[in-house]
Amino acid sequence: MTKCTMLLQKKMTSSDNLKVVIITGLSGSGKSTVLRALEDIGYFCIDNLPVVLLPRFLKIRQAEVSEVTKIALVMDLRQPHFLEKYPRIFGRLKEQGYDLEILFLEATDEVLINRFSETRRVHPLSREGSLLEGILIERGKLTSLKEMATKVIDTTSLNVHQLKDLIQRHFLSLEGREKLLFVHVTSFGYRFGLPTDADLIFDVRFLPNPFYINEFKDLNGHHEEVRRFVLSEGKGKTFMEKLLELMTFLLPLYEKEGKVRLNIAFGCTAGKHRSVVVANEFHTYLSKKNYQVTINHRDINKS
């Protein structure tokens, strides 16, 4: 085996389609918001990992948790040796074949000052001087990193929700997804309260209740006999048809409007039978339509 072939194999095995996003930039520019946005679309996220540990972390990931294919990390001046270490480490990882994207966030001095004033946080470089002095020093220190970045985002005119949507649409489009809308489906019981993050809530307590059938009482909506019972009657079947027709109309409109994440909840009395059945049916429908969809049966194991 030639030296060239060995190096090529090493490069291929070290990267093996792993996407690594480094989130960096000015303090107060929205890095935490970006990290949460990426976590919501399936990235494994870490805040403030020392840059010297990055190569070792990626090796551990390759050996122990190979199912993780997308990683996002916030790295900035909070780390004492970040500025002196990052050029060599980032450069070496790129040479090894890692798909490394450096996302640099910035904003105007005035906006950064307002953000720090609102949150009452201390700028990492202004402990012995004014806030503006700290911002200007940091901006100067990060000039080279900004030039190295693969994407620079000015968050001056963006609120938290706009920045989150911008990030998610960017990274979902990079993955070549035809459907950019991320849908989270929840079943719940009204007995335990409404889901606080739901965008749309459907009350399915009008459907026949398996709880009052002795043979179904101790089962849940995952059981096929419960599913057939809930959907067999005319109103259950008709409801699903109407629901899917409505969602076929609505979801493309939400995408067109720029919405990236949609939380849809289905509720019954205890969250064990009817809501689980309907949520599962809806999840299956969305999966077949190639939407990125997750599901959570919040109250299925509660008494």
Per-residue pLDDT tens for 149-173? 999 999 999 888 889 888 887 887 7
Q: Which region among 72-76, 123-127, 290-294 has the lowest average model confidence (pLDDT)?
A: 123-127
CATH number of the domain bearing residue 119? 3.40.50.300
258 vs 162, which has greater pLDDT?
A: 162
Task: Please compute the mean of the pLDDT values over residues 230-256 and round it to a whole number.
Answer: 91
Token code pair at residue 100:
């490394």
Same structural domain, 91 and 161: yes
Same structural domain, 42 and 166: yes
216 vs 10, which has greater pLDDT?
A: 216
pLDDT at position 279 over 50: yes
Per the structure, the complete domain to which residue 234 belongs is given by 182-297
SS3 category, 39? helix
Domain boundary (131, 158, 174) is at 174
Residue 47's nearest CA partner among 66, 58, 31 is 31
- Which pLDDT band, with edges at 50, 70 and 90, does 15 fall under? low
- Which pLDDT band, with edges at 50, 70 and 90, does 81 fall under? confident
Residue 3 lies in a domain: no
Mode of pairing for the β-strands spanning 261-268 and 200-203? parallel
Residue 138 lies in a domain: yes
- Please state, for a pLDDT cut of 90, what percent of the chain lies above it: 61
Number of helices followed by number of strands (H, E) in the chain:
11, 9
| Amino acid identity, position 105 | L
pLDDT at position 194 over 90: yes
User: How far is it, in rounded angstroms, from Cα 258 to Cα 277?
Assistant: 30
* Other beta carbons less than 10 A from residue 229's beta carbon: 22
pLDDT at position 1 over 80: no
Residue 242 lies in a domain: yes
pTM of the model: 0.62
pLDDT in the model for residue 13: 45
Q: What is the pLDDT of residues 123-149, one digit of tens each?
A: 888 776 788 999 999 999 999 999 999
Domain boundary (158, 174, 190) is at 174
Domain count, the chain: 2
User: How far is it, in rounded angstroms, from Cα 109 to Cα 113?
Assistant: 6
Contact in structure between 163 and 34 (CB atoms under 8 Å): yes
**Ramachandran angles phi, psi of 239, nearest 5°:** -60, -45
Same structural domain, 38 and 157: yes
Domain boundary (174, 207, 234) is at 174
